[in-house]
Chains A and B, each alone.
Chain A
């Protein structure tokens, strides 16, 4: 097992990069805030970040501000065009509005047009929510007035009618997961590609370097034995890496996953690790230099992450990008992962996705053997 021993010795020197990826990934996984609003089994209304400039400063306008405060989060901004534009552009505020001077008296007289001014940048649902909310508030006040209430009483009644708990019941669709576990296993693909490609290619490069390879070639060791020992070394590296990532995943998120989900995500990530290994062995056949290897690793890991729904969800990617993604193994990994984490899943469908991943692995192994044969 001389070749295997040397392989492991070289590996030791190349592991620092893998540990950096591992440390950063796990730190992010632990401290990543959950983006989903509300706990499981509970509906919570989305609270927007809004900024209100009260130009009227009357009891009526202050009552409206208090009402909005109950429904949304108020953010304070300087009334400066640049500050407002920056806040809207970078999402610090979803909606910026001013209550125009004369709002209180206009409301008392039943005038409703143009009571508010909105600093507009983006269209979208946030704008629709606020428009609907303001129209609804004013409409309710006017209706209460029409029913014979005084203005102050009408405002209080509108506030009590419109405020309060969200009116919706949450349907828990059997076992759909929180975003943190979904993201962990999705981002795992990026880390796997980057780490496996870098480590395997770097070690193989050293093993194929003149000083080691020439000595091995002139020894009595059979080529098949050499290849098998190299392969064994690579499989052990990938298996250990997969084990570390998977055990961490189970420790962090195992409680919220069903046993079927744990089994299938583990199997899916292991098959994907084999795909990464086969791709790394294929790249190593061309003995790329350090610069070229850096380039290849970055392009493949980032490329697959952007095209296959790792960094940006598949649901928001364009059809043409998804079409291109279908020709890449990470696309099928993410497909399988999202199906498993989406709740009750059809295992045959997931196994189908994994089979496609395996086809990629077999393809890379076959091409690697052909290239190796031709080069020899």
Chain B
């Protein structure tokens, strides 16, 4: 009979198109949009192309020429210079063909039309140039014998910073949107769990009423439903992760099998949460549905599905939220695999997911057991 209940739970829910949409289709469609929109952003943000700048005024400025020549020789392609007249430079700035206008008229000045990293680099270049110019002039005036040494130290190349890479994993921070999408898909399993609660309560559904008067033991029907929901949700998660990894080519690092396991357990967590919400007897099924969708979306918002650095903000202000938020726990378990391949942290998150699932299931069972109806 257990297998009979299990089979029919699966058959009934596979035929429900609304469930298939939310559990399977919606995350895949959203994943496609994410890929199209964010696909090339990381490469764009992490490349530092030469900054286009217009230079006007005296083009015979020896110091400026020597500084830019020195930059060219050192291989530091910081600026992409166009020497031109004032009016053309302003036109170029207005049409955003250059980020700033450097004017050489005895001194050096910069004009920009917006604030940003590229404009900051330009202002630093101009500032540095002014400082060097002042140093040379001051030294020539105050201690001309040291001028040669000063010019030599100013034109020397410095390599003050040594870089140490913190990870060899996937550092594309836009991938975290996919981690959160997987968390969202997993928590949508709550819709399945919700049905378990609703379909086992006589006052909420006709099926619940039938089940309550049937001679079959309640624990067996409930266990079959929970297993059925886990199986369906695991299938959805496998399809979701496979689609992201092999069709959208999202880089989950070298631990893909563990990503599957983590997603499947995340799906179980979603089903269990839904079961707990669905078992709260006094709420109607539509209220429960709205409640679980709202809770899921809020949890995903807190874990960074809509605002990428939300989890980081919470880590600073209220770290306990990230520990208690199921979406953050699921996405974090995949994140630590993709970025570090860190099994210790993964195991911690994995255990947290199992514990949360157990708590939700226990709440669901406690709320469902020994319920009797005098009338419905």
Contact = CB atoms under 8 A, between A and B. Distances in A.
Interface of A: 36-38, 43-46, 81-82, 84-92, 97, 112-136, 138-140, 142-148, 161-162, 166-173, 176, 290-291, 294-295, 298-299, 302-303, 305-307, 311-312, 316-318, 321, 324, 343
Contact of A36 (B29, B115, B150, B313): B115
B117 A139 contact: no
Contacts of B93: 171, 173
Contact of B339 (A89, A97, A113): A89
Contacts of B146: 146-148
A89 B173 contact: yes
Interface string B126-146: 111011101100110011001
Given A147-B146, A306-B33, A123 B131 contact: no
B162 interface: yes
B112 A43 contact: yes
By secondary structure, the B interface counts as: helix
Given A86-B312, A90-B312, A291-B17, A97 B161 contact: yes
A133 B47 contact: no
Interface in B122-176: 122-128, 130-132, 134-135, 138-139, 142-143, 146, 149-150, 152-154, 156, 158-167, 171, 173, 176
B126 A168 contact: yes
Given A161-B131, A170-B112, A306-B33, A312 B46 contact: no
Given A91-B312, A147-B135, A129 B33 contact: no
Nearest to B316: A92
A112 B171 contact: no
9 contacts: A43-B119, A46-B120, A86-B315, A90-B308, A116-B162, A118-B163, A143-B135, A143-B154, A171-B101
B316 to A, nearest CB: 7
Contacts of A123: 46-48
Given A120-B163, A125-B121, A133-B124, A146 B153 contact: yes
A122 B171 contact: yes
A47 B149 CA distance: 33
Contacts of A44: 115
A147 B112 contact: no
Contact of A143 (B111, B153, B161): B153
B164 A118 contact: yes
Interface stretch (B35-43, B203-211, B218-226, B227-235): B35-43
A215 B139 CA distance: 97
B44 interface: yes
Contact of B171 (A38, A89, A118): A89
Contacts of A129: 117, 120-121, 124
A91 B173 contact: yes
A37 B30 CA distance: 32
Contacts of A127: 48
Contacts of B113: 170-173, 176
B66 interface: no
A111 to B, nearest CB: 10
The 9 closest A-B pairs by CB, nearest first: A90-B312, A125-B117, A306-B33, A146-B149, A120-B163, A291-B18, A37-B115, A306-B37, A135-B158
B110 A138 contact: no
B116 interface: yes
Contact of B38 (A142, A147, A303, A312): A312
Given A112-B160, A118-B162, A122-B171, A45 B120 contact: yes
A167 B123 contact: yes
A120 B308 contact: no
A305 B93 CA distance: 29
A299 B21 CA distance: 11
B24 to A, nearest CB: 12
Nearest to A170: B112
A202 to B, nearest CB: 16
Contacts of B162: 114, 116-118
B34 interface: yes
Contact of B160 (A89, A113, A119, A171): A113
A168 B166 contact: no
Contacts of B167: 85, 121
Contacts of A306: 33-34, 36-37
Interface of B: 17-18, 21, 25-26, 29-30, 33-34, 36-41, 44-48, 78, 90, 93-94, 100-101, 109-128, 130-132, 134-135, 138-139, 142-143, 146, 149-150, 152-154, 156, 158-167, 171, 173, 176, 304, 308-309, 311-313, 315-316, 335, 339-340, 342, 345
A343 B134 CA distance: 38
Contacts of B159: 112-114, 135
A348 B122 CA distance: 35
Contacts of B128: 132, 136, 162
A121 B33 CA distance: 26
Nearest to A136: B128
B36 A307 contact: yes
Contacts of B150: 143, 146-147
A316 B39 CA distance: 10
A124 B152 contact: no
Contact of A132 (B124, B138, B164, B340): B124
Contacts of A92: 309, 312-313, 315-316
B49 to A, nearest CB: 9
Contact of B309 (A91, A134, A135, A307): A91
A119 B166 contact: yes
Nearest to B120: A46
Contacts of B166: 81, 84-85, 88, 119-121
A169 B111 contact: yes
Contacts of A126: 117
A82 B340 contact: yes
A309 to B, nearest CB: 9
Contact of B161 (A46, A116, A162, A312): A116
A360 to B, nearest CB: 20
Contacts of A136: 124, 128, 131
Given A138-B158, A307-B36, A312-B38, A43 B18 contact: no
A77 B319 CA distance: 14
Of the listed residues B124, B160, B315, the one surrounded by the most CB atoms of chain A closer than 10 A to its CB is B160
B138 A318 contact: no
A367 B207 CA distance: 44
A125 B118 contact: yes
B164 A119 contact: yes
Contact of B153 (A87, A90, A139): A139
B29 A298 contact: yes
Contacts of B39: 318, 321
A132 B143 CA distance: 28
Given A36-B115, A147-B150, A138 B143 contact: no
A256 to B, nearest CB: 16
